[in-house]
Amino acid sequence: MKKILVSVLALVSLMTSQASAESRSAEALLHQMGQASTQLNYEMSYILIKQNSIEPLMYRYATYNEQALAHLVYLSGPVREVIRRGSEISYFEQGIDPFTIASSNMVAPIPPLMNSDIEHLSKYYDFVSMGKAREAGSACDVIRVVPKDGNRYSYMVWIDERSKLPLRTDLVSREGEALEQYRAVSYVVNDKIADLLDGLNQVTLPTAVSMPRRSNSSAGWFLAWKPAGFESINYNSYRLAITEKAVESQMYTDGLFNFSVYISDADSLSVREQLVRQGRRTFHSHIDGQREVTVVGDIPPSTAKRIAESVSFRNVNKKVTQ
């Protein structure tokens, strides 16, 4: 009996050690992917597959004289482009005046995890090696990024064995449903892309504006609960253009997913409770006393509902004001 017990303990220890080694290997691959995404000069054509649409895109990235340059082009429909020059991002879209924002992160459909802080994410996600596969004609290592809790989605990432670039990324629900896919069709790694993108330095772009950061200390409410790792990155208050209705909002992120909370005074148009999920995006709204609470973000419906119900008001009688 004693020998059996020792054997079982040894087996458990071996399995734990193996799992730990695989986790470190998966995390190392994600670090290499992040480095490749920001250090190589490359061009990637890919499709973004949602539940009701397929969007073809082309993304070029390079560093020239230690400056990051990037160009994202939508390949169907109206002309849309996003240009990055260092710490400035310019947006071009038909029907809207072009504008530039002082930032180093594109708000655009770029494969997730490329610019993520993997070490930070490791506090809230486990990295699991899923073996080998092929994507865009290349051998890949497959990694699953799984939340340590059950309050957010997970990702599957196909990392090219040679370049370490992400060739496919699947957003997966807790039920195992693929909500969104980025799939590379072709890609090339070539230093000549840096010379090509250097032409962006000759283009006249709109003057950059800085997005104001406002403190949330003046907000009359706070979240009593949110998933671990989510922190407020932006607070705003404004009035809707048509109705003049005052709204307060805060955006939260864990470095991978985002959600926003909107607070306004309830009126005759407010819906008692509403829950809608479309692809990765969840919309949950309900009435809390005299206020309407709305949560919108890339989180499961049950998480959005729990966040909305956790909103606490510092002054029960205080109205939302601009």
pLDDT score for 210: 74
What are the pLDDT digits (tens) for 243-295?
A: 778 889 999 999 999 999 999 888 877 777 889 999 899 999 999 888 999 99
- C-alpha pair distances (Å), 232 with each of 20, 57, 133, 169: 32, 31, 38, 26
Is the pLDDT assigned to residue 18 strictly greater than 50? no
Question: Which fold does the domain 16-209 belong to in CATH?
Answer: outer membrane lipoprotein receptor (LolB), chain A (2.50.20)
| Strand duo 138-147 + 125-135: pairing | antiparallel
Q: What does the block give as tokens for 295?
A: 């949560």
CATH architecture of 216-313: 2-Layer Sandwich (3.30)
Residue ranges of the chain assigned to CATH 2.50.20.10: 16-209
> DSSP string of 188-253?
EE-THHHHHHGGGGGS--PPEEPPP-B-GGG-SEEES---TT-EEEEEEEEE-TTT--EEEEEEEE
pTM as predicted = 0.87
Asked if residue 239 lies in contact with residue 133, where contact means CB atoms within 8 angstroms, the answer is: no
Q: Range(s) for CATH 3.30.200.100 in the chain?
A: 216-313
pLDDT at 52: 86
**Comparing C-alpha atoms, which of 314, 27, 320, 303 is closest to residue 159?**
27
* CB-based contact 143:29 (threshold 8 Å): yes
